Chains A and B, each alone.
Chain A
Amino acid sequence: MPIILSKVRISNYRSIEYLSLELKLLNLLIGQNNTGKTNFLKAINLAISGSTDISEDDIFVTQDERLERTKTAVIDIFFQPSDDSGNTCAEFSVFWIDEFTQSWITTSTDGNFVGIRTEIKFDPIKDSYGISRRCIREWGKSVEDATIETKRIVFTEGMRAYLQSFYMDANRDIVQDLRNRKSYFGRVTSNYDLTEETIKEIEAQLNTANAKIIESIPSLQQTKERISSIGKTIGASNSSIEIEPLARKITDLNKGMEIVMKDGNAAFFPIAQHGYGTRSWISFLTLSAFVENKNQKLKDDDEAEQFIMLTMEEPEAHLHPQAQRQLFEQISHFAGQKIVSTHSPSIIAQSSLTDAIHFSKRDGKTYAIRYKADENNNDIDKIFREVINARAEILFASAVVLCEGITEEQALPVYFTEFFKCAPSSLGVSIINTGGKSKYKPFLSLVKDFDIPWFIFSDGEAEAIADVNSAIKEVFGVDDYNKLNNVIVLENGEDYEDYLISEGYSDLIIEAISEYENNPSFLISYINCTNGQKRRDKSIRDYTHENGQHDALVDFCHNHKTKYALPVAKKITENSDQGKRIPLKVRELLSAIADGIGVQKALIVEDKL
């Protein structure tokens, strides 16, 4: 019966001041670059592998803090017996009891477990930082609260043999692996279990082939004779020189090993000439081979089991979406526990929301949250697919701005750039159109659970406001949007086009559309065409009166919503009157965003109003 690493808790390790997470069989780490995902993976590997490769740089310090020697980094891991699907069980199998022994196993009413605390601390006697490992007897509510055995113990033989942790970084490349004896490829291919007889036979054949090659190629033969004369000059009496086209001994075979790949009808090409995508993928597959190889050996001992933890960064590197999906399939079938950090929406779309752990960094500290399954909300996967299929980037954003229409989705980035002097993506802000009415909920659920700052920019129409209120009530329990300063709603029942016009941008709008259509009299044509006709709401268009042009513009904009959103926004931001480059309500939104993501207002050019 297998085991699973079900809980981990980290304190003061690198960028992680404090983090406590539950782990499952498959775990996806998502988050922007540099949020501490690699540190998390390193911590896990350190705790499982029993390595002693640490230094004082591994201890977390805040910006102004000087490292005190009393400060320690702690990594707690918690193993439980499990079934093949990763569900925890009460008792370890006999095999694991034998390997962990009573030194490491603790019994409890919630089932047996093995808790391991790894500490990096300063040893005053050795005058350097070192690692110590202790048994956790009670997990407790925090690092300080746990009950730890005072006696330091080392991993048992069994633990060192049967607990394995593998790390694949983003730069994996089979071409590098080929040259490295210590890579998984190197280790699998230098593991010969041949009989003496077979070895002799093969080596004899190699020798024959070598001799034949040299014999058949005159220039080779000559070169060999020529360089043999070195023996005389250096005075060595019994020396001889050979040229070896092929390795002579079995143990040297992996030195010249090459992998060649054939694409359809093309010839075989060495792997170095293939793209990085293929190369990094193959590197991963050699790890699979390595693990399988080990598993084979275990089969001789039929009670034996292995615990394997695969920690992998960016499996999607250099691969196109379909290939990413296929690779992910292979990863999912990898026998063992997996923690994979990824930036790929394709990969995320293949898993379940409950597999995801969101990483973010604020003030130099790493934060990690797992999606909490809501008992009331059974449609987790549905939400997930809705959002991910729409806009997966939401999971990687530092802030999310939700709006209901494509118009706003196109226009807001323009204003954003004017306000912040850089594009939204530069600050990690995603401006997302929810795709229609009543669609806020799934987006809000996600940002709430992953603690991503969010904003809403909504029309002032009654229906739109009702949507907003219903969504924020259901997800956040707030019954009125006015109570939140991250929800900006247009007033007076206006929608975006109405609002722009009432803010006094009519002239600019007309200018923008005229330029775009290359038709300065577009409005007049429109009036002529549609005057007197019915609108959708059955009212009659009457453009003849004093405000006729105004009304006509309103109707025109409504009919062509998305087409002119961008040009109009651009025109507005290029306004000669600096104070009016951003509509007020939009400015309100952008200020709220600035506060929300902590961008200093000083950096933003303050327009005089």
Chain B
Amino acid sequence: MKLSAKQQQIVEHMDGAMLVKAGPGSGKTRVLTERIKYLLSAKKRGKVLALTFSNMAAEEMRSRLENDPQVGEAIERVTIGTIHSFCLDIIQSRGYLIGLRPDISLFENENDRKAILRSVISEKADEAEFGMILQREEKPEIFLSRCLSMISEQKRSLISPDLCNVADPFPRIYQKYNNMLQNQNAMDFDDILFYAYRILAENLDVAKLYNSVYRYVCIDESQDLNNAQYSFIQAFCGSDYHNIMMVGDENQSIYAFNGSNSKYMSDLFVRDFHPTVYTLDENFRSAKQIIQFSNTLTGNADDVSKYVFDGKLTRTVYDNELAEAQAVRSTIENLIALGHKDIENPLKYEDFAVIARNKYVFSQVENVFTDGNIPFFYKKTQSGITCETDYMVAFDLIFRLMMNPMDLYHKQKLCKLVSQDIFAAENCSDTKSLIRQLLSDSKYSWMNSILPHISLDGVIDFDKIIGALKDNLPIDLTDDERYLLEKDINEWQKHWSRFKGHVARENRTLISFRNAISLGKTQEIDTETGVALLTAHMSKGLEFEVVFIIGLSEGTFPDYRAVNSGGEALTQEKNNMYVAVTRAKRLCYLSYPQIKMMPWGSDKRQDPSRFIIQAPTSK
């Protein structure tokens, strides 16, 4: 399909900053890919950097370019990844400039961070003070989570402990938390941006080098940039670099809780770079009624006459959540049986999605679907790898130790797992003998068989490691244990296969594999079947022929807390709604239950969400 005139204009824009306001369904990914192709063919040399929001988006773009015959070998000149992944690369190659060691580990697991924070607060030296804090708290777990969030917030705002303005004792806790990470040669997720920013900001010649290498930078989903990310981009550009393209839609900014703000794209970027502004507001995805309704949310007054399909968007009120769920089910069954005039092909379950504000709203739907044998699934977005068996937890810890001998936290975890005193293990000359010593005399001793196949700086052949595991499984496992263990091993194998798929053999080192897992690069691409059950955040970037949005009552969607605080929080809710609605291609069913059961047992009468007031009711 040919590009529209507007799209073509954007594709052929060469030098100079550019802001593309791209609404949903406007063919944004296509335009980005085509522009990259154009840039590659226009210049013989020089690289292009494309930063995406998620690994999936990066994969999507990469595979489109790889499979395009016009790109061919020039694919080597494109670097596509998330901002975190790009920053991690910078840290690994230039970290030494700010005193970081090259084998720095990533502690991405929330529980690991909590454990470190807890040990900081319970440290003997400060027990008097900090220890009290934890004991005073009614719900220490929640306190720790909040504390971690605050630390994240500080890091996202590029505020180091010594410049932190929060009331005492927080800055000191923050500092100690950081110290504990640094002492073990480790960092957390937010450090990735912070460190990369520092490297570029403190070493202008490095930024200059990157400028020279990357002639053009394209940033997708720019409405989700946060302070740290925008500052990083500024540090990258210095004062002279202008070939930045930002693509985004302020109406789809739904990550404010994470520090994201569309002002970086719409205000600061405009102020700092004076970009040419393009608007892509043609929606090639959705039908007329859907677009008309979504316009009421954004206040746009597009001319919808050119849209081909009429589609359908209605709102309905049901007696209660069960009735709502049943209605969803019967609609699905009818549509699959009879089809719809505006939908060309017969429908299958994968063409349907049910979106709700949060996962609790789905409980009735789950029950009803199960009863009616309607296949469904929850879309997962995770990174990292979860192990069911202790054996594979040990497996992961072995890798952590091999990669970073200074990682005290994981060393302790391993010692605890094998029930050994950590001091007994102190006098080992190298990590492998340490591991051997820890594992022998325990039920994990058979795992020593993988050690000969691991070389730290060398390329690893993970298949051999898996092979060693499978060949040496202990014989005294129960059937259940064996089942789980094999599932876990297969999980690792799948991550390895996906990793192999996009990394050349000579770059398959232990560190790059483990980091890829941590960054979510090896996550399973969804090949799930059935109806998708999603929150608005999980639905980002997807599209379905038919979308149900349920639980659209005031207090649920929009969430009651946003209703109470108003302002930005409410705007976020509106954006959430906008994202949800614009997932629909042809048919969109909005609904809410008149009566809702509260967690403490009583019923509550629901008012319709302010967002659906303008939607036509069904007959």
B453 within 8 A of A: yes
B307 within 8 A of A: no
Q: Mark B494-534, 1 if CB is under 8 A from A, else 0.
A: 00000000001011010110000000000000000000000
Q: Mark B449-475, 1 if CB is under 8 A from A, else 0.
A: 000110101111100100000000000
Q: How far is it, in angstroms, between the C-alpha of A303 and the C-alpha of B203 when the chains are bound? A: 28
Which residues 299-355 of A have a CB within 8 angstroms of B?
301, 303
Q: Would B212 and A94 count as touching, CB distance under 8 A?
A: yes
Of the stretches B41-49, B334-342, B393-401, B483-491, the one at the interface is B41-49
| Shortest Cβ distance from A109 into B: residue | B205
Q: Would B209 and A107 count as touching, CB distance under 8 A?
A: yes
Q: Would A135 and B506 count as touching, CB distance under 8 A?
A: no
Q: Would A125 and B453 count as touching, CB distance under 8 A?
A: yes
A273 within 8 A of B: no
Pick the contact of B507 from A98, A105, A147, A153 — CB < 8 Å?
A153
Pick the contact of B209 from A102, A123, A150, A154 — CB < 8 Å?
A102
Q: Would A98 and B46 count as touching, CB distance under 8 A?
A: yes
Q: Would B509 and A303 count as touching, CB distance under 8 A?
A: no
A97-B511 in contact given A103-B93, A150-B102 (Cβ < 8 Å): no
B482 within 8 A of A: no
- Most chain B CB within 10 A, of A147, A150, A152, A154, is at A150
B371 within 8 A of A: no
A53 within 8 A of B: no
Q: Mark A60-104, 1 if CB is under 8 A from B, else 0.
A: 000000000000000000000000000000000011011101110
Q: Assign chain B's interface to a size class.
A: 35 or more
Q: How far is it, in angstroms, between the C-alpha of A593 and the C-alpha of B458 when the chains are bound? A: 51
Q: Would A123 and B44 count as touching, CB distance under 8 A?
A: no
CB proximity of B51 to chain A, nearest CB, Å: 15
| Shortest Cβ distance from B44 into A: residue | A301
- Most chain B CB within 10 A, of A97, A101, A151, A152, is at A151
| Shortest Cβ distance from B206 into A: residue | A107
B538 within 8 A of A: no
Q: Would A157 and B457 count as touching, CB distance under 8 A?
A: no
- Most chain A CB within 10 A, of B212, B453, B461, B511, is at B212
Residue numbers in B under 8 Å from A301 (CB-CB): 44
| Shortest Cβ distance from A158 into B: residue | B45
Q: Is the interface of A mostly helix, strand, loop or mixed?
A: mixed
Residue numbers in A under 8 Å from B210 (CB-CB): 102
CB proximity of A205 to chain B, nearest CB, Å: 39
Q: Would B212 and A124 count as touching, CB distance under 8 A?
A: no
Q: Would A152 and B506 count as touching, CB distance under 8 A?
A: yes
Q: Is the interface of B mostly helix, strand, loop or mixed?
A: helix
Residue numbers in B under 8 Å from A303 (CB-CB): 44-45
B440 within 8 A of A: no
A97-B455 in contact given A135-B93, A303-B44 (Cβ < 8 Å): no
Q: How far is it, in angstroms, between the C-alpha of A303 and the C-alpha of B43 when the chains are bound? A: 12
Q: Mark A100-128, 1 if CB is under 8 A from B, else 0.
A: 01110101100010000000000111000
A137 within 8 A of B: yes
Q: Would B452 and A149 count as touching, CB distance under 8 A?
A: no
B304 within 8 A of A: no
| Shortest Cβ distance from A126 into B: residue | B458
A152-B509 in contact given A107-B208, A125-B461 (Cβ < 8 Å): yes
Q: How far is it, in angstroms, between the C-alpha of A108 and the C-alpha of B203 when the chains are bound? A: 9
Which residues 343-396 of B have a CB within 8 angstroms of A?
none
Residue numbers in A under 8 Å from B206 (CB-CB): 107
Q: Would B102 and A107 count as touching, CB distance under 8 A?
A: no
CB proximity of A123 to chain B, nearest CB, Å: 6
Q: How far is it, in angstroms, between the C-alpha of A126 and the C-alpha of B511 when the chains are bound? A: 19
Which of A's residues lie within 8 Å of B, judged by CB? 94-95, 97-99, 101-103, 105, 107-108, 112, 123-125, 132, 135, 137-138, 147, 149-154, 157, 301, 303
Which of B's residues lie within 8 Å of A, judged by CB? 44-47, 73, 76, 92-94, 96, 102-103, 203, 205-206, 208-210, 212-213, 452-453, 455, 457-461, 464, 504, 506-507, 509, 511-512
**Could you show 15 A-B contacts with beta carbons less than 8 Å apart?**
A95-B45, A97-B209, A112-B209, A124-B455, A125-B461, A132-B457, A135-B93, A147-B96, A151-B102, A151-B512, A152-B506, A153-B506, A153-B507, A301-B44, A303-B44
The 7 residue pairs across chains A and B that have the minimum distance between CB atoms: A107-B205, A98-B45, A150-B102, A97-B212, A102-B213, A107-B206, A154-B506
7 extra interchain contacts, Cβ-Cβ under 8 A, other than A151-B93, A157-B73?
A97-B212, A103-B93, A123-B455, A125-B452, A135-B93, A147-B96, A151-B511
